[in-house]
Every structure is written in C-alpha cells, then in structure tokens.
Amino acid sequence: MDDVDEPRPLFPLEPAGAEEPLPVVVDCDPGVDDAVALLLALAAPELDVRAVTTTAGNASLDVVTANAARVLDLAGARADLRLARGAAGPLGRARRERDADVHGVGALGGLDLPPSSRAVADASAVDVLARAVAEWPGEVVLVALGPLTTVAALLALHPRAAADLREVVLMGGAAFCEGNATPTTEFNLRCDPDAARRVTEAGVPLRVVPLDATQRALVGRGTTEPLLASDDARGRAVGALLQHLSTRRRGPDATGAGGEEAAAVHDALAVAALLDPSLCTWVGGGVRVETAGELTRGELVVDTTAGTPRARTGWARTARVAVDADPDGLGRLLLDRLA
C-alpha cells in the first residue's frame, strides 16, 4: 500500500474504559461468534453495555433475538439491560440466509442454553438505540456485529445520532482479501449493501474489523481446551462455541496442512479491538460499500489516501480499518476474561 502524505489525524485508538467504563450498545445476529462477542463484552469491566439489539442475518429475527436473550442470561446481564428487536430483513433486495452449517443447530452451534424469560422491549431497536445515544451524547460506542440494516435505520430516522455517537465499531467487509460471501464481499455487508453504504457515508467515526483481521486472529486449542475445562459456565460455553467454529487450521506451513484446528471468531475480534486496539494493525482512510456492482455489490472499498493532498476520492477520512491481527492476542483475551 503506497505511503501517503501526512493525513489528517483520526480519532485516537486507546484501550476502552481506561478511566471509567465505556458505554456501548451492541447490535448483533447471534450467531456463534456473536455469542462469544456478547459474552466477552459483558465480562469486560471496561465496557458498560447499555442495550443489545438484534438484526436478522445468521438466522431469522425471532431466532437471533431468542439467542441473544439466552446469551444475556448466561452472561448474568442485568435484568434491566434493554434487549430490542431490530430489522427482520434488508433495506432493499432479498438476502441470503446464512447457511445453517456455519452456525449449526439453533444458530448457536448446537449449544443448549435454556430458554430465556428475559423481557424483550416493546420499543423497536431503533428507538432503544436512539434513546441510549441521545441520553449520553458523544459517549456511546455502537458495536455492530451483523448486517447493518438496523444501524442504517437509526441513522436515517435520527439524524442527530450520527453526531451523538462517539464511534461505530463494525465487523464487516473484506478490505484487501477474499470475501466469505462472494469473492469480494463479506456476509454482513453483502446481506444489506444499501444499509452498509449509508453507515459509511454518515460521517460517524468508524472502526472497521474486516476479514483481513478476523481470519488471522485464529483461536486454537490452547484457548479452546482451557475454556472447556473452565469452572465458569460462560467459559465452558465459549469453549463449545469455539469448538464449533474450529473448522480452519493454524498450520506450520502456508497451505494450512498440518498444524491445529482453529476458529475465526469474527465478531469477538471486533469487541476485542475495542478493549485492546493493539491486537490489530490499522490503516486510516475513507470507506464506502459498493451497491450497484453486478459482481461486487456489498464490497468494502477503502481509500487510504482520503483526506490527504493526494486523495484518490473526495471521501472524508473517518475510518480506521484493521488489516491484520495478532494470531494469539484474541485467544489470550478470551482466556483472561472468560476462563
């Protein structure tokens, strides 16, 4: 990637909650890795999770919402932590449901969590998010772990939200690597490219955690096995979820032959990147999502020269994009917080 003239400084990437817990709201589609991400976020004293909302993606809205409630119960989340239903489908064209084999039975990898009696808010996810952001202007970070339909609706229906949000941390995209939905697109952005485009254009500071980073932060047996043996139910659940995801290999050679089974826990890295940004390697720039490409609809496009004298686009320099990650860092964090 070319060196660029000194770009304008972006928001600082500091570990969350250094002085006091960072208020966050999480939109998700649990989903095996969403569940790990929620358990990590709710176990982190640096974060103050003030609302959880759901968006259809890995499974239907009913399934991801019921799963979120179950995970909140396992996490021991406060009874008054608001859980609200978001979008049941994309803004525009039809979406491909996640293949069941990725997230398994019940979309939690077969993890058998008891049904929850947790109340789901009558208010919509957009209203719950809007209220949380308006109540603490400039303080709340929105963590988006699924399709961006609900987040886009928030920004469209509540224009102040873009100014009041401190930052959006989102798991999505394939910046400079191959996609997992199509050759150039990642599932979350592919599910709803129009919504993703709106989020990238809203002017809100973005911390993007794409496949470039999540597929390098592979979690191996050195993390999964101690978690499975944990005396903490959350740790054992995360161990089981990681086992379900351990379909990749961290091998001694580039082909992946040999080595050990490992898991890409995409959404958990997005939360980890909030807790410890040094786990990832970041580039600054401006980002957009393709919405019209016949072959590339949903592709994340990153202009690292945005905001510099040699800018290739007129996009504002509002994003940091993770282009690499410490292969052992996420595992250490999960063990430290959940084992």
Chain positions contacting ligand RIB, by CB under 6 A: 29, 31, 33-34, 57-58, 145-146, 171, 180, 186-188, 266-267
Query: 266 catalytic, yes or no?
Result: yes
Length of the chain: 339
**Contact call for residue 34 and Ca ion (CB under 5 A):** yes
User: Which one of residues 16, 25, 29, 282 is an interface residue with Ca ion (CB under 5 A)?
Assistant: 29
Smallest distance, Å, CB 177 to ligand RIB? 12
Provide the pairing of β-strand 141-144 with 82-85.
unpaired
Give every CB contact of residue 130 below 8 A, 6+ residues apart in sequence.
154, 157, 158, 161
User: Which one of residues 145, 204, 273, 289 is an interface residue with Ca ion (CB under 5 A)?
Assistant: 145
Only one of the segments 27-35, 111-119, 124-132, 276-284 lies at the binding site for Ca ion (rule: CB under 5 A); that segment is 27-35
Nearer to Ca ion, 24 or 306 (CB): 24
At 324, which amino acid appears? D
Nearer to ligand RIB, 57 or 329 (CB): 57
At 130, which amino acid appears? A
Classify burial at 117, counting beta carbons within 10 Å of its beta carbon; exposed 0-12, middle 13-18, buried 19 or more. Answer: exposed
Smallest distance, Å, CB 65 to ligand RIB? 15
Which of ligand RIB, Ca ion, none lies near 180, with the C-beta cut-off 5 to 8 A by kind? ligand RIB
Place of tokens 């103050």: 48
Spatial contact of 58 and 31, defined as CB atoms under 8 Å apart = yes
The token duo for 79 is 């009874």
**Contact call for residue 167 and Ca ion (CB under 5 A):** no
Spatial contact of 241 and 141, defined as CB atoms under 8 Å apart = no
Catalytic site residue from 103, 158, 244, 266: 266
Give every CB contact of residue 158 below 8 A, 6+ residues apart in sequence.
126, 130, 133, 134
Nearer to ligand RIB, 210 or 307 (CB): 210
Nearer to Ca ion, 124 or 214 (CB): 214
Give the residue at shortest CB distance from ligand RIB.
Answer: 187
Spatial contact of 67 and 35, defined as CB atoms under 8 Å apart = yes
Does residue 37 sit in helix, strand or coil? helix
Partners of 110 in the β-ladder: none
Smallest distance, Å, CB 143 to Ca ion? 11
**By rule CB under 5 A, what string of x and - marks binding of each residue 265-294 to Ca ion?**
--x---------------------------
- Angle, CA 215 vertex, CA 192 and CA 33 arms, to 5°: 60
Within residues 184-243, the interface with Ca ion by CB under 5 A covers: none
Which of the residues are catalytic? 266
Q: Which residues bind Ca ion (CB under 5 A)?
A: 29, 31, 34, 145-146, 267
